[in-house]
Amino acid sequence: MFSSSPISLRRFLRLEAAPTQVPVVSSKVTGQRSNLLHQTQIKERVTDRFPDVTLTNHRGQAMRFRSDMISDQKVLIGFIYTRCGGICPATTKHMAQVHAMLTEELKGKFRMISMSVDPTRDTVDDLMEYAADKGVANHDNWDFVVGSEADTNSIRQTLRLQDPDVAADGQLRNHSGMIIFGNDRTNRWSAIPAGTRPEHIAHGFLRMTRDGSLRSILHGLPAA
């Protein structure tokens, strides 16, 4: 059974290099204790490993995966295919509910990506019909995308969403039900099963992608 708790995408991607811990000491004020904070300096950005391949969205627009759709943005990524009779409809339904919640909280300042894992059959028209059938085709910040088979496999491999068993991975019904989300500006990423309740996905997204510094989080100050 999947846990509904988000997991670190850095751990998910097995980026094993240990971060450097740099102590940050607050200024001393009379009558108050000095606070010692530790700020993590990340040497490598998670998205540095994302391939910057060209995908096409359901509107027929060519977009580069990393530089156009992820760079400097808050992003949530799910995986579907239009002929799926398994988890895909539920994944899209949950993402639609999460989209509504995040729109209220973030006023549209985030992006969603639903990527086809069936690039040999799914066309742009298929994606448009699928998105329209789910009632989400007109969201400017949600793209249903498809790429070449090689580029699709490159993204799935980078995100460790491929089954190591080649035969099993070739069966579309076995495709990953994980949702990846994060904030490229703060280099904080996570993953959560798509079957998790939408409010829990939205809550995890908001916590993981907040722009506030470690200091503001610890001291309850308003986050940006």
Lowest model confidence (mean pLDDT) among 1-10, 119-128, 197-206: 1-10
For position 64, what pLDDT does the model report?
Answer: 98
Which residue has better confidence, 82 or 173?
A: 82
pLDDT > 60? residue 20 = no
Chain segment 74-89, per-residue pLDDT in tens: 999 999 999 998 889 9
For position 161, what pLDDT does the model report?
Answer: 82
pLDDT > 50? residue 40 = no
Return the bridge partners of 116, or none.
80
pLDDT tier for residue 186 given thresholds of 50, 70 and 90: very high
pLDDT > 50? residue 51 = yes
Q: What are phi and psi of 96, to 5 degrees?
A: -65, -40
When pLDDT is averaged across residues 38-53 and rounded to a whole number, the result is 75
The b-or-e profile of 79-100 (16+ CB within 10 A means b, else e) is: bbbbebeebbeebbebbbebbe
Lowest model confidence (mean pLDDT) among 50-59, 122-131, 176-185: 176-185
Chain segment 139-170, per-residue pLDDT in tens: 999 999 999 999 999 999 898 887 666 665 56
Paired sense of beta strands 7-8 and 62-64, if any: unpaired
The percentage of residues in the chain with a pLDDT greater than 70, rounded to a whole number, is: 69
Q: Is residue 25 part of a domain?
A: no
When pLDDT is averaged across residues 17-39 and rounded to a whole number, the result is 36
Q: Is residue 35 part of a domain?
A: no
Kindly report the number of other CB atoms within 10 A of residue 14's CB atom: 7
pLDDT > 70? residue 2 = no
Q: Is residue 93 part of a domain?
A: yes
- With a CB cutoff of 8 Å and minimum separation 6, the contacts of 31 are none
- Residues 40/206/218/44 CA torsion (nearest 10 deg): 0
For position 57, what pLDDT does the model report?
Answer: 98
Q: Is residue 217 part of a domain?
A: no
For the chain, what is the mean pLDDT? Answer: 80
Q: Is residue 107 part of a domain?
A: yes
For position 44, what pLDDT does the model report?
Answer: 82
The b-or-e profile of 154-163 (16+ CB within 10 A means b, else e) is: bbbebbebbe
pTM of the model: 0.76
Number of compact structural domains in the chain: 1
Q: Is residue 118 part of a domain?
A: yes
For position 215, what pLDDT does the model report?
Answer: 39
Domain span at residue 164 reads 47-212
For position 148, what pLDDT does the model report?
Answer: 96
pLDDT tier for residue 15 given thresholds of 50, 70 and 90: very low
CATH code: domain of residue 106: 3.40.30.10
The percentage of residues in the chain with a pLDDT greater than 90, rounded to a whole number, is: 61
Q: Is residue 14 part of a domain?
A: no
Q: Is residue 15 part of a domain?
A: no
